[in-house]
Amino acid sequence: MLRPAVADVDFADQLIHVRRTWVHSHVGEPKTRTSKAPVPLHHLLAKSMKKWRAESPFSQLDNWVFPNFRLKGKTIRCANMLPI
């Protein structure tokens, strides 16, 4: 599963660089050259991500784009960790 850090999002070139994976709560390396390929960043998503970054207390380059606020950004926000 793609879990980008803030530094992985290239707003100028409209790309998300795939530099790591998140599988079973562990960070790893993408397995193939294809899975390491940059993902196009749609301009509407870029706009939302810029707004999110401006509002997030975890907006440093080494922070996750979608951090877990309960764990103070130490790990990513996962669907099974979202409050209901």
For 16-55, write each residue's pLDDT tens digit: 888 877 777 777 888 888 888 999 999 999 998 888 888 8
Amino acid at site 59: S
Q: Tell which residue, 57, 47, 39, has the closest CA to residue 3.
A: 39
Alpha-carbon distance 75 to 25, whole Å? 9
Domain residue spans in the chain? 6-81
For 52-84, write each residue's pLDDT tens digit: 888 888 777 777 776 766 766 666 665 554 444
The first and second tokens of residue 58, run together, are 């975890």
pLDDT of residue 15: 93
Alpha-carbon distance 27 to 8, whole Å? 14
